[in-house]
Structures are given as C-alpha cells and as structure tokens.
C-alpha cells in the first residue's frame, strides 16, 4: 500500500500539532508552578509586614514606660537588654528604695513624634522612635510669668525578638538629638566671650 502525498502531509501536520500541544502543556505547567512559587513568596513577604502596626504600638508603649515608669519597662525586655537592665539594678541597689530619696516628678509631657519599623535581614523587626520629652524646671511658675522648661528630643533604636510568641526588646539605645539647655549654654558662652 502506497501512501499518497496528501496523507503524508496530513500525518506530518497531525504529528506537528501533537508536538506543539505537548510543548504548550509542559510550558503552561512549568509557568503555573513558577507563578505559584512567586505568589507564595510574595504572600510570605507580605505577612512579615502585617506585624508592623502592632510593633509600632509596642514601641510607643515601651518609650512611655521607659520615660515614665521608674523601671517598669523591664517586663518588655529580653536577652541583652534584660541582662543590662538587671546588671544596672544590681549596681545601683535599686531594690532598696530609701524614703529620703526625692523622686523627680517634673515630667510634663512625652510626645512620640514618629515611629518607623522595618524588618531586618534576620526577619526580625527594628524600630526607630523619635520622641520629645518636656520637664518642668525648678523655678517654673506660670502665675508669676516664669516658664522654666527643659525640652529634649531623642531618637531611640529598638531591636525586637520573638520570645514565646510575643515580641520583646532584645536591644535598645537612644541618642539625644536636641536639648534646649545646649542653646541656653551656647548663648551664655557667647555673652561671656563678647565681654
């Protein structure tokens, strides 16, 4: 039996179509797998950032306890930060509070101005908090028209670590960015130099 030329062309077209369909199916399958992996990676990446608002609230609470709390921020510490705190308490005999010690109650205002939380390479959050603290001065008397107020601007850097399902402060430090006493002292120094 002899194959006619149109039959040969038909078989070749049919075989070509089958090969094209097989290649398309394999490409579609690998593309689907690629996009599923990408989608999964993006969801994992996005889930890291879902915790940022709660870390921001914890950061604000930590600063409030740190500034106002006479050591009450220790409940939010872990690791290096907790060890440094415990060493400081041991060094100052903080647990033996003497009634003759006058505790400074001049804090007037604490204002958290900005909180920025990022996720570091270890997938742990880090926060930077810009805050302003105002203290009432010793000669402050609004009735007499004397306003003696010390205003400080700080930048605190916090590293967070997840401990038993809860984020705690593993390290923190802060820098004094501005203190209005500096400008008063600079003005005093200039006055002395001018004379």
30-82 pLDDT, tens digit per residue, is: 888 999 999 888 888 777 778 888 899 999 999 998 888 767 788 888 889 88
In the chain, which ranges are E strands?
A: 107-119, 125-136, 149-163, 166-179
> Could you give the 3-state DSSP secondary structure of residue 4?
coil
pLDDT band (50, 70, 90) for residue 165: confident
Q: Is the pTM for the entire model greater than 0.85? A: no
Higher per-residue pLDDT: 146 or 161: 161
Token output for 126: 């880090």
Q: Which helix (H) or strand (E) holds 91?
A: helix 79-92
Q: What is the pLDDT of residues 86-137, one digit of tens each?
A: 887 777 654 454 444 444 547 778 899 999 999 888 888 999 999 999 887 7
């Amino acid at each position: 039996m002899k194959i006619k030329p149109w039959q040969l062309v038909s078989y070749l077209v049919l075989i070509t179509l089958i090969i094209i369909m097989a290649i398309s199916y394999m490409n579609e399958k690998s593309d689907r797998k690629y996009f599923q992996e990408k989608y999964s990676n993006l969801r994992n990446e996005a889930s890291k950032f879902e915790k940022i608002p709660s870390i921001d609230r914890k950061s604000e609470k930590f600063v409030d306890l740190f500034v106002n709390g006479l050591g009450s921020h220790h409940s939010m510490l872990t690791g290096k930060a907790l060890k440094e705190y415990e060493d400081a308490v041991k060094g100052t005999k903080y647990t033996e509070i003497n009634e003759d010690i006058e505790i400074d109650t001049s804090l007037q205002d604490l204002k958290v101005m900005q909180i920025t939380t990022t996720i570091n390479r270890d997938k742990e959050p880090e926060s930077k908090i810009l805050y302003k603290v105002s203290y009432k001065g010793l000669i402050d008397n609004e009735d007499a028209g004397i306003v003696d107020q010390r205003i400080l601007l700080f930048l605190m850097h916090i590293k967070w670590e997840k401990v038993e399902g809860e984020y705690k402060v593993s390290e923190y430090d802060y820098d004094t960015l501005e203190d209005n006493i500096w400008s008063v002292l600079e003005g005093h120094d200039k006055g002395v130099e001018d004379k």
